[in-house]
Structure 1
Amino acid sequence: MWMASRSWGAVLVGPCTWLMFLALGRFGVSVWGDFVEPPPSLSLLSMAEGLTRLPCLFRVQEGQVVQVSWTRERPDGGKEQVITAHHTEGHTEFGRFSGRVRFESSDPMANAALIIGSTEVSDEGTYTCHISTFPSGNFERWLSLTVWTMPISSLEPVEMVEGQSFRVAAICRSVGRPPPRLSWDTELVGQSQNRSSEGGAMSTHFSLHPLRSMNGQPLDCLVWHPSLDKPRRIANRLVVHFPPDTAVRGYDENWVVGLEGASLRCESGGNPKPQSFTWSRRGGALPEGVRMEGGALWFDRPLAAADGGVYECVARNSVGVGKAEAEVMVADSPRREASFSGLVTILGAAAGALVVVMVISMVIVSLYHKRRNRKLERELSKTTEEICTMSRQASFRRVNSVNTDPRIQVDDDVPLRLESPMRTSLSSLSAGPPGKRDSHSTLSMGRGERPASHNSTRRGERGRDREMDTYVSNSIIALDSGSHAPLAPSSLPPSVWGPLPHPRS
């Protein structure tokens, strides 16, 4: 659609205008006795109170245009003159169009386009451009004009009171051509109802059950119209009135005789805000020396013991009443009580801190002992393994230390428990220092020879066995340490060895 003179009002041209431009491009501007514009069928769209242009351009190759005129067809089918121009007598405006219309060009014979200033809705209709030529005759062209109006909108909020039944909270109205569309933009829970009436008037109602929590919530109306680039928003906030909710503040339960500057405050909400406050004391009048200022009760003197009691505050607004009370006690020496209370609080805090420290210490000690036990277990395991290893090494050495000399044999009847220690002892004796060896230092036992100790009684054998075990243990320790202490023959009792055999000749 084509738009002209946007600042004065839009003139919108329908799709037929593009057909006209195509025709002009195909057939040229000069046509034998025919219209250059408008095309055969043209629908125009204009906004009320704006400027409207109705095109009319005619060209002749022979003769001339002698008169042009515009007429409008009324809804009842009749016609009314709008304006006329004669090539010699000038132009004339008719009826309600007088002073509102004019030709676009100063030479209407060359360009007969009509301009309507401050277009009205009543200007809507079918217009005819009539061209009189000489000698070709008369020619006409029709145009259809539609006039739109910008929507005129309003919103009427309704003041609500908490506790009322389900009712209308706001009404949004709008009128325009074509009729606008209305909607609500809100998070409130409610219902909307749209209504329409003649003349393009639309309205919508939003209803809900009022609660004090809804007070001040947005309830906006949106107006949608084809003449608007985006919906027009009418901002609004819901108003819900509710009684005051009152509370008494200022008493800290530590009022003492002689305290100065004491006061009680009556804090109250509500919508609208309370404008009236009343103070009273249960069971009697207010004490002397107090004053009421706004919602506060001031003690202009030091407190006395008789100032105690139950104080009540009453707040009022246009909706209802809110009440609140507080029991005031004025003690003789609450400061000591306060000190004792503070001491108890400090002691309690200290005890709590001590408990926390003890718990933390126990946890730390437990972790330390666990860690130490794990370390000891590792060390014990390592030591056990080392002992096992040393024991195996000692066993290998004892086996390897057995005398392999075939000339020296031990009778098979000697117990195996004594064989290795005895041989080890003999090796130790043979390895003694030079100069200490004599005929008793070399021992040899022939096969079949038995020591005299086997002839002793069984009790003596058990005693010798215990002595031998002690000696073997000492020998093992000496072998494991890598050093052998000198062993004299007298280090073992004679009863163990028995009489030594003489060396063979």
Structure 2
Amino acid sequence: MTSLLNTLSLCLCVLQICVIQGGFVPLPSNDPIRSLAEEETLLPCKYKPTSDDVVVQVTWYKENPDTTKEQIITAHHTNGQTAFGTWSRHVRFKSSDPTLDSSLLIMSTEVSDEGTYMCRISTFPSGNFDREVSLIVWTIPISSLDPVILVEGQSYRQAASCRSVARPPPHLSWDTDLNGQSINRSADNRAVSSHYSLHPLRSMNGKKLDCLVWHPTLQGPRRIRNNLVVHFPPHAEVSGYGGDWSVGMENAALRCVSGGNPKPQSFTWIRIGGELPEGVIPHSNGTLLFGRPLSLSDGGTYQCVAKNEVGVGKAEVVIAMTEAPEPRSSLENMLMLIVGGAAGGLLILMLIIVISVTCHHKSKNKKLQRELTERKEEISTLSRQASFRRMNSVSTDVRGVTEESIPLRVEGTMRTSLSSLGQETRFHPPLTPSPYPIVQSTEIVRQLNGSVVIPAEGGSRPGSVNKTLQHPPPSCTYPPVTDDEDEVDEGLGGPASQEHPDDQDSETNSSQVSEAHSARYQQTNGTLRPKSRLSTTGVSPHASLIHKAQIV
């Protein structure tokens, strides 16, 4: 029972302490605090007292490696702030009232500031409360690259060296296409170095060999650019001579072109087997200038020697001199000019003639084409007119045809009465008879009416042609039918009122014609047949009959 009472008493005391005492504001998640050298660093410390406590004093300490504590700065609620030793120029409180916000500000952080700090809050009447804060100071890498000048032909050796110092130690690598190897080393002062080695060749000169520095304070690798340097001797070549030098030539010159690394500093010209001719001037840029017209004594073997720090390059050229060509006389030059002018004039004349003939033929062809077109149009017009005449008019003569052989069957065209047939038929009065027989063909009637039907009585078979020769009386002549006598049939789209001028005397002629037809022909089932006997008072057998058959 006694132990139970003791336990309850202890719990009540702890609860009373937790309720009465205050506490520190929790630190940020990034504990320990990381900072960079030469930048401001904030060490947070903020205490919230209870309603019965009062913050009397705030003091910051730093723990030394030997576990002792060094006082940095203090602030009393009535006596103010005090900084100690070298810290007075190095630190200060963040707030003007340290009893409310006791955070410490290091104005320019140094590597030596790294360590453990303690913030002590003195309250009344509760006493002192401490909080520890750890600080890690990082530094931005300080890097350098030392290139090495190589010479072609040397053995395998170091080509470049890269070094970097930082907290924490950085990492180094190389970015290059060269065939080599790198070796990395570290030192106690957090410095690292890397060496790149290879076998130098002329083709490696100017190639990329960059050093990359990796560190947590950098967003990405820092690149230190570098190009490999390889020295090699020059390679000389001679230009300016094409094998065409002759005696009397002026402004002749030889040029020595040379490569190499570094570029050659000096050029030397010599003539093998003797000294340079007089009037020949060598220049420092490698040019050998002949300051006078060439002569036969200028021939020979010339050698150019180019030199740089690594070695020497040589090149030779053999010059062969030829005799100068004989100058042409003024007469030959004049003759050449005359011949050239004549040839040019003749060429221009021929060109003018060709152009003129071409233009003439073109105009003539156009004229002939135009005339041909006009002729074609005329022929086409005449052909159409002739076709219209054949279709619209036929001249028949009954003198050469017997009365039994002239019956016609008009299929699909004779759709009117006998009186209407009489109106579409015109008779011309007999004139002086023709001394020649007229041959009547049923083919003409077939072309106009579409078919010809010859009755069985007194005629031949359908489709055959009846030709009867008969001498007309000497007192009858029948005039041919002309275009002026054509009449547009009403069935073909023309007005029925259009009549031939010969039929404009009176309507009596039309009735007479109808009576004549009635006296000579009879209509049976759409077929006109001659009557067995003709009245002597009818139309004369030698009358001219013009019949226009309607074309369907």
TM-score range, shorter chain: 0.5 to 0.7
Q: Which amino acid aligns with 1:321?
A: V
Match of 1:255, SS state, is: coil
**Residues 106, 265 of structure 1: alpha-carbon distance in 2 compared, 3 angstrom cutoff:** same
Measure the CA separation in 1 of the matches of 2:29 and 2:247. Answer: 103
2:549 matched residue in structure 1: none
2:123 matched residue in structure 1: 133
8 Å CA contact 1:175, 1:201 repeated in 2: yes
Q: Which amino acid aligns with 1:35?
A: F
Residue 74 of structure 1 deviates from its aligned partner by 1.6
2:313 matched residue in structure 1: 322
Measure the CA separation in 1 of the matches of 2:28 and 2:200. Answer: 60
Q: Does 1:286 align with 2:273?
A: no
RMSD: 1.8
1:332 matched residue in structure 2: 323
Q: Does 1:190 align with 2:164?
A: no
2:23 matched residue in structure 1: 34
Instruction: Describe how 1:216-255 pairs up with structure 2 within 5 A.
Output: 216-255=206-245
**Residues 164, 249 of structure 1: alpha-carbon distance in 2 compared, 3 angstrom cutoff:** same
1:52 matched residue in structure 2: 41
Residue 141 of structure 1 deviates from its aligned partner by 0.6
Measure the CA separation in 2 of the matches of 1:33 and 1:163. Answer: 79
1:71 matched residue in structure 2: 61
Measure the CA separation in 2 of the matches of 1:44 and 1:232. Answer: 25
Residue 335 of structure 1 deviates from its aligned partner by 9.9
2:297 matched residue in structure 1: 306
Residue 156 of structure 1 deviates from its aligned partner by 0.3
**Residues 289, 41 of structure 1: alpha-carbon distance in 2 compared, 3 angstrom cutoff:** closer
TM-score between both structures, scaled by the size of structure 2 = 0.54
2:200 matched residue in structure 1: 210
8 Å CA contact 2:140, 2:166 repeated in 1: yes
Structure 1: give runs of 5+ residues left out of the alignment. Answer: 1-29, 337-505
Q: Does 1:82 align with 2:91?
A: no
**Residues 154, 93 of structure 1: alpha-carbon distance in 2 compared, 3 angstrom cutoff:** same
8 Å CA contact 1:186, 1:220 repeated in 2: yes
Residue 95 of structure 1 deviates from its aligned partner by 2.7
Match of 1:98, SS state, is: helix
Q: Which amino acid aligns with 1:143?
A: V
**Residues 40, 59 of structure 1: alpha-carbon distance in 2 compared, 3 angstrom cutoff:** farther
Q: Runs of at least 4 residues of structure 1 off by over 3 A?
A: 39-42, 333-336
Instruction: Describe how 1:253-264 pairs up with structure 2 within 5 A.
Output: 253-264=243-254
Q: Which amino acid aligns with 1:332?
A: E
Percent identity between matched residues is 62
Deviates more, 1:235-244 or 1:79-88: 79-88
Q: Which amino acid aligns with 2:302?
A: Y
Measure the CA separation in 2 of the matches of 1:246 and 1:94. Answer: 76
TM-score between both structures, scaled by the size of structure 1 = 0.59
Measure the CA separation in 2 of the matches of 1:60 and 1:334. Answer: 118
8 Å CA contact 1:87, 1:109 repeated in 2: yes
Measure the CA separation in 1 of the matches of 2:311 and 2:44. Answer: 69
CA deviation vs aligned residue, 1:101-141 (integer Å, no higher than 9, x gap): 00000000110000001101110111111000111110011
Q: Which amino acid aligns with 1:330?
A: M
Measure the CA separation in 2 of the matches of 1:306 and 1:161. Answer: 43
**Residues 31, 289 of structure 1: alpha-carbon distance in 2 compared, 3 angstrom cutoff:** farther
Measure the CA separation in 1 of the matches of 2:326 and 2:251. Answer: 17
8 Å CA contact 1:254, 1:334 repeated in 2: no
Measure the CA separation in 1 of the matches of 2:21 and 2:293. Answer: 112
Give aligned pairs, total: 307
Measure the CA separation in 2 of the matches of 1:306 and 1:76. Answer: 97
2:105 matched residue in structure 1: 115
8 Å CA contact 1:81, 1:95 repeated in 2: no
**Residues 93, 40 of structure 1: alpha-carbon distance in 2 compared, 3 angstrom cutoff:** farther
**Residues 130, 317 of structure 1: alpha-carbon distance in 2 compared, 3 angstrom cutoff:** same
Q: Does 1:180 align with 2:170?
A: yes
Measure the CA separation in 2 of the matches of 1:155 and 1:96. Answer: 37
Match of 2:203, SS state, is: helix
8 Å CA contact 1:38, 1:141 repeated in 2: no
8 Å CA contact 1:41, 1:142 repeated in 2: no
Measure the CA separation in 1 of the matches of 2:245 and 2:325. Answer: 8
Match of 2:25, SS state, is: strand
**Residues 237, 298 of structure 1: alpha-carbon distance in 2 compared, 3 angstrom cutoff:** same
| Higher CA-based Rg | 2
Residue 41 of structure 1 deviates from its aligned partner by 9.5
**Residues 335, 287 of structure 1: alpha-carbon distance in 2 compared, 3 angstrom cutoff:** same
8 Å CA contact 2:21, 2:126 repeated in 1: no
Measure the CA separation in 1 of the matches of 2:314 and 2:326. Answer: 31
1:297 matched residue in structure 2: 288
8 Å CA contact 1:82, 1:97 repeated in 2: yes
Residue 88 of structure 1 deviates from its aligned partner by 1.4
8 Å CA contact 1:244, 1:271 repeated in 2: yes
8 Å CA contact 1:32, 1:59 repeated in 2: no
Instruction: Describe how 1:350-429 pairs up with structure 2 within 5 A.
Output: none
Residue 39 of structure 1 deviates from its aligned partner by 6.7
Match of 1:306, SS state, is: helix
